A and B are shown apart, each in its own frame.
Chain A
Amino acid sequence: MTQRHEIKRFLTVAIAAALLLLPPMPTHADAQPEAIARYGDPDAQPQMVLRGATDIKTFGPVVEAFAARAPGLGITLEQWNSIDLYDRTLKDCRAGRPGADLVISSAIDLQVKLVNLGCAAPHVSAATQALPADRNWRDELFGVTQEPAVMVYNRRLLPPALRPRSRFDLLDLLRQTDTPFAGGRIATYDIQASGVGYLFAFVDSRQASTFGSLIEAFGRLDAVATCCSAEIIQGVRSGQYLMAYNVLGSYALDLAAQYPELEVVAPSDYVLVLSRAVMVPKGARLGAAAGALVDFLLSPQGRDVLSDNHLIVEIGIERDIPFPSESVAALRVIPLSPVLLLGLDRQERGRFVDAWMTAFDLPIAP
């Protein structure tokens, strides 16, 4: 009896603690979406609310394709910053109020955290059951996209001999005394501001010993850490940076299609592959419709639309991104698993961000 009481007390304390303590990132009192778009029947009530840490420009066409198949359904697509999205979803979950009907984010570690906190509702269908284990956690979180972390160069400014194909090439180039990358000519994510940036960096640090050397070299050459994918790639195009490291392949390919001077390369030693994760929050008003959208995203038609919008990037010979080998070992899909919680640990994260910021000589956010 007392134990049960204690557990109840622990739960309330845990809720409060989670709200206050997790994650130790900048939070705004009441964060708002960055942009809103509507699809389908505008008069339908209630409207299906779709919150994504994904550009409307990229994800909008996918939602539109789904809306075309679901007559009588009105869909509101909100574009959020991934950390704000996490905070908002957790707040809705803790308050027990219906919020979004579907949440999609590239910060899959935060999505895993939400599911680990019990904020997701299960959805089971033939499509979800066909998913491999690393893209379906608990039937509550599904990996729907396939986006590699890539390097992007400016072809015009970087001669072929100086274009790295792997992390080892890059390290060698950065170590040359007359390296062209000195003086802030290489850019990557600011891991404090970008959820996916932190995720890539953290997973990178666990993958190979090259990471430590890279960070050290980045710091020595005054590499730039900034937000976000679009800004970084635009910087490469404009010539501000010669190359960008570890950016999302979906955005890179999107812009490369417009600007021929951009070249997108998947590092040949290994490629991190992110599968953007969707979940139906517990208490969603239109859970069934959200489930139908999940199934659509996993269907061949949905995959075609995602592919058209570079959200599913095929890597390999004669594919979206040229890749010298078909070796599966080199493709490292970040699994949807509670192991990702490790990167969100307060002390781990503190230490990691600390090291990173010190290397980049950036102020550490309070």
Chain B
Amino acid sequence: MIKPLPPEPQPAPQQIDPICDEKNGAKAGAATDETGRLGTAPTTAAMSLTRRLTLLLAMFLSVGGVVIALLAASYGRQAAEQTYDRLLLGAAGQIAAAISVQDGQIITNLPVSAFELLAQAPDDRLFYAVIDPKGGLVTGDDLAFPQGRGTRFFDGVDQGEATRFVALERIFAERGFAGVVTVVVGQTALARADLAAEITRNALAISALAGGLLVLLAVLVTRAALGPLRSIEAALIARAPQDLTALNLPVPREIARLVAALNGFMSRLDRTMSMNSRLLADASHQIRTPIAALRAQAELAADEPDPARLRRIAGRIHARAIDLTRLTEQMLSRAMIIHRADAAAQTLVDLRDVAMDAAEEVGDAQPNRRRDLRLDLPDTPVLAMADDLSLREAAKNLVMNALIHGKPPVRIQVRGETLGPHHLAVVAVQDAGMGPLALPAGKGPPKAMGSSKGTGLGLQIVRAVAAAHGGVLATRKGPNSFEAAIELPAATRPEKGATR
């Protein structure tokens, strides 16, 4: 028996009517508890597979059961009809075979076996007639029968009981007698109905048994099929919390995809985590150097009696502090970008704005390089769904990289591209240099991290931002140029009047 799932408890109303507060207080509290418990049990959201399958099978079987019942009844009727029709035919045949002609008279030597055959339907009344070619009754009951040729079965009613007849012909061509003698044999239909009911009953019983077995089998099959999931579950529970290596279990093909997805997810998680720890390590390393320099300058300053030198040292300390501030800001923004890229809501962004803002900010930070920057923007907006801030930071990173590692001039280009069926929105930064000797393959940051000005993590961040937007970081090397481009899926502005 399949019980319907209990309805999911509704969360308690947030605001309880103050008038009813006293009355409903306890109840509302209990409901809240319930909601709280459900919140920690995510499996209640979906129906159990076994139950789902059983329910489906039960529905299928009950529909199938009706069909089978109808079929069984029809089959039973047909089989019983056939069986007893043969009995009738057999008896009629025996009677017909016992007819002879003597002196032009039809003589019927009724065989007792014909009657015994008919008595196989023990409770049925029987009728028979032998009719001469002129339609006169030779012997038996006066029965009407349909005219025609050959063997014919027909139905009737006698004293309120259904009857079934067969009419059979025997052709004589004797000296003194020639013609067709008809034998009609009939019976009431009690045994037929009994047999039909019995066959139907048996067929139904077997079907019901088969249905039951099918349900049982379905439950067992479901259990067996879910076995690999249980082994995955066990493997996950058994492993250490830091262990993010791929699951290596022998699983069926159907579940292998799930395991592959799980492994992919874990490896991404692993990457993110190692990136985070590397960031942290880099950050501490990068900050330690300026801080140590500051401390050394400060110690120098403490022992310096010459005011002129002291002033020079103070100037250096000031410059270092500015460097350190910039570095800290940069790192914080990087951490924020990485976080935002995954988490922030995306809005429709015009990449031209992104490029302009990035160029402006880089120009503000490096006023003496401002003349090396060129903006190459189209007349029409280039739109993408993106987080404005992280995209701008990513673009800034590319520009800074180009300024620091590349050769001026640095061109910031925004363009729309079509790649097969995909429309792309692209922010590209080109310089006249050769590009880095080996671009990071996506596995880790480049080695060059000594300089405080270096943004070795830049490309990593850009790549992460691009990926978070469903895009890629593409690099192209020309004979005298290098381009790094963020390629995002293009978006279109919603129609006027349409809601966002």
The complex places the Cα of A117 from the Cα of B126 at a distance, in Å, of 9
Interface contact B157-A7, CB-CB below 8 Å? yes
The complex places the Cα of A21 from the Cα of B136 at a distance, in Å, of 13
The complex places the Cα of A14 from the Cα of B141 at a distance, in Å, of 7
Instruction: Tell me which of B108, B138, B158 contacts A118 (CB under 8 A).
Output: B158
Interface contact B140-A346, CB-CB below 8 Å? yes
- Report the minimal beta-carbon distance from A4 to chain B, rounded to whole angstroms: 8
In the complex, chain A residues whose CB is within 8 Å of the CB of B141: 14, 17-18
Instruction: Tell me which of B112, B122, B156 contacts A342 (CB under 8 A).
Output: B112
Flag the segment in B113-121, B388-396, B403-411, B443-451 that touches A. Answer: B113-121
- Report the minimal beta-carbon distance from A263 to chain B, rounded to whole angstroms: 34
Flag the segment in A60-68, A153-161, A230-238, A333-341 that touches B. Answer: A333-341
Instruction: Tell me which of B112, B118, B137, B138 contacts A206 (CB under 8 A).
Output: B112
User: Which residues 1-39 in A have Cβ within 8 Å of B in the complex?
Assistant: 3-4, 6-7, 9-11, 13-14, 16-18, 21
Interface contact B126-A338, CB-CB below 8 Å? yes
- Report the minimal beta-carbon distance from B136 to chain A, rounded to whole angstroms: 12
Q: B33: CB under 8 A from chain A?
A: no
Q: A347: CB under 8 A from chain B?
A: yes
User: Which residues 134-178 in B have Cβ within 8 Å of A in the complex?
Assistant: 137-146, 154-161
Interface contact A118-B123, CB-CB below 8 Å? no
Q: B271: CB under 8 A from chain A?
A: no
Smallest Cβ-Cβ distance to A10: which chain B residue: B144
Interface contact A337-B154, CB-CB below 8 Å? no
Interface contact A13-B108, CB-CB below 8 Å? no
- Report the minimal beta-carbon distance from B291 to chain A, rounded to whole angstroms: 110
- Report the minimal beta-carbon distance from B408 to chain A, rounded to whole angstroms: 107
The complex places the Cα of A118 from the Cα of B138 at a distance, in Å, of 23
Interface contact A347-B112, CB-CB below 8 Å? no
In the complex, chain B residues whose CB is within 8 Å of the CB of A339: 112, 115-116, 119
Interface contact B125-A3, CB-CB below 8 Å? no
In the complex, chain B residues whose CB is within 8 Å of the CB of A137: 122-123
Residue-wise, chain B 344-384 has the 8 Å CB interface mask toward A (1 for contact) of: 00000000000000000000000000000000000000000
The complex places the Cα of A138 from the Cα of B124 at a distance, in Å, of 7
Residue-wise, chain A 138-176 has the 8 Å CB interface mask toward B (1 for contact) of: 110000000000000000000000000000000000000
User: Which residues 118-144 in A have Cβ within 8 Å of B in the complex?
Assistant: 118, 133, 137-139
Smallest Cβ-Cβ distance to A4: which chain B residue: B157
Query: Are A338 and B118 CB-contacts (below 8 A) given A116-B125, A348-B110?
Result: yes
Q: A115: CB under 8 A from chain B?
A: yes
Smallest Cβ-Cβ distance to B112: which chain A residue: A342
Interface contact A9-B144, CB-CB below 8 Å? yes
Interface contact B123-A138, CB-CB below 8 Å? yes
Interface contact A347-B108, CB-CB below 8 Å? yes
The complex places the Cα of A229 from the Cα of B286 at a distance, in Å, of 138
- Report the minimal beta-carbon distance from A126 to chain B, rounded to whole angstroms: 19
Q: B107: CB under 8 A from chain A?
A: yes
Query: Are A118 and B118 CB-contacts (below 8 A) given A13-B142, A138-B123, A347-B110?
Result: no
In the complex, chain B residues whose CB is within 8 Å of the CB of A206: 112
Q: A216: CB under 8 A from chain B?
A: no
Interface contact B156-A7, CB-CB below 8 Å? yes
Instruction: Tell me which of A6, A17, A133 contacts B142 (CB under 8 A).
Output: A17
User: Which residues 276-306 in A have Cβ within 8 Å of B in the complex?
Assistant: none
The number of chain A residues with a CB under 8 A from chain B is 31
Interface contact A115-B144, CB-CB below 8 Å? no
User: Which residues 206-225 in A have Cβ within 8 Å of B in the complex?
Assistant: 206
The complex places the Cα of A139 from the Cα of B124 at a distance, in Å, of 11
Instruction: Tell me which of A10, A117, A118, A337 contacts B143 (CB under 8 A).
Output: A10
Q: A308: CB under 8 A from chain B?
A: no
Residue-wise, chain A 53-76 has the 8 Å CB interface mask toward B (1 for contact) of: 000000000000000000000000
- Report the minimal beta-carbon distance from A42 to chain B, rounded to whole angstroms: 35
Interface contact B144-A118, CB-CB below 8 Å? no
The complex places the Cα of A224 from the Cα of B138 at a distance, in Å, of 32
The complex places the Cα of A60 from the Cα of B192 at a distance, in Å, of 42
Smallest Cβ-Cβ distance to A206: which chain B residue: B112
- Report the minimal beta-carbon distance from B101 to chain A, rounded to whole angstroms: 13
The complex places the Cα of A18 from the Cα of B155 at a distance, in Å, of 21
In the complex, chain B residues whose CB is within 8 Å of the CB of A347: 107-108, 110, 138-139
Query: Are A345 and B118 CB-contacts (below 8 A) given A10-B156, A339-B112?
Result: no
The complex places the Cα of A115 from the Cα of B190 at a distance, in Å, of 15
- Report the minimal beta-carbon distance from B189 to chain A, rounded to whole angstroms: 13
Query: Are A338 and B115 CB-contacts (below 8 A) given A7-B144, A7-B156, A17-B142?
Result: yes
Smallest Cβ-Cβ distance to B157: which chain A residue: A7
In the complex, chain B residues whose CB is within 8 Å of the CB of A133: 122
In the complex, chain A residues whose CB is within 8 Å of the CB of B124: 338
Smallest Cβ-Cβ distance to A16: which chain B residue: B142
Instruction: Tell me which of B140, B145, B155, B157 contacts A345 (CB under 8 A).
Output: B140
Interface contact B146-A6, CB-CB below 8 Å? yes
Interface contact A116-B126, CB-CB below 8 Å? yes
- Report the minimal beta-carbon distance from A114 to chain B, rounded to whole angstroms: 11
- Report the minimal beta-carbon distance from A15 to chain B, rounded to whole angstroms: 9
Interface contact A341-B142, CB-CB below 8 Å? no
Interface contact B119-A118, CB-CB below 8 Å? no
In the complex, chain A residues whose CB is within 8 Å of the CB of B138: 347
The complex places the Cα of A345 from the Cα of B185 at a distance, in Å, of 14
Please indicate which of the listed interface residues A9, A18, A118 has the most CB atoms of chain B within 10 Å of its own CB. Answer: A118
In the complex, chain B residues whose CB is within 8 Å of the CB of A337: 119, 122
Instruction: Tell me which of B115, B122, B137, B144 contacts A341 (CB under 8 A).
Output: B115
The complex places the Cα of A348 from the Cα of B115 at a distance, in Å, of 13
Query: Are A118 and B125 CB-contacts (below 8 A) given A7-B144, A345-B110?
Result: yes
Interface contact A342-B125, CB-CB below 8 Å? no
Interface contact B125-A17, CB-CB below 8 Å? no
Smallest Cβ-Cβ distance to B108: which chain A residue: A347
In the complex, chain A residues whose CB is within 8 Å of the CB of B118: 338
- Report the minimal beta-carbon distance from A338 to chain B, rounded to whole angstroms: 5
In the complex, chain A residues whose CB is within 8 Å of the CB of B140: 345-346
In the complex, chain A residues whose CB is within 8 Å of the CB of B112: 206, 339, 342
In the complex, chain B residues whose CB is within 8 Å of the CB of A6: 144, 146
The complex places the Cα of A24 from the Cα of B235 at a distance, in Å, of 97
Please indicate which of the listed interface residues B141, B154, B158 has the most CB atoms of chain A within 10 Å of its own CB. Answer: B141
User: Which residues 63-99 in A have Cβ within 8 Å of B in the complex?
Assistant: none
The complex places the Cα of A339 from the Cα of B119 at a distance, in Å, of 7
- Report the minimal beta-carbon distance from B365 to chain A, rounded to whole angstroms: 105
The complex places the Cα of A13 from the Cα of B156 at a distance, in Å, of 14
Smallest Cβ-Cβ distance to B145: which chain A residue: A10
Interface contact B115-A17, CB-CB below 8 Å? no
The complex places the Cα of A21 from the Cα of B146 at a distance, in Å, of 23
In the complex, chain A residues whose CB is within 8 Å of the CB of B143: 10, 14
Interface contact A3-B154, CB-CB below 8 Å? yes
- Report the minimal beta-carbon distance from A351 to chain B, rounded to whole angstroms: 8
In the complex, chain A residues whose CB is within 8 Å of the CB of B156: 7, 10
- Report the minimal beta-carbon distance from A141 to chain B, rounded to whole angstroms: 11
- Report the minimal beta-carbon distance from A128 to chain B, rounded to whole angstroms: 13
- Report the minimal beta-carbon distance from A361 to chain B, rounded to whole angstroms: 23
Pick 17 A–B contacts, CB within 8 A, sort by A: A6-B146, A10-B145, A10-B156, A14-B142, A117-B159, A137-B122, A138-B123, A138-B190, A139-B123, A206-B112, A339-B115, A339-B119, A341-B115, A342-B112, A345-B110, A346-B139, A347-B107
Shortest beta-carbon contacts, A-B, top 3: A10-B144, A118-B159, A17-B142
B-side interface residues toward A, CB under 8 Å? 107-110, 112, 115-116, 118-119, 122-127, 137-146, 154-161, 190
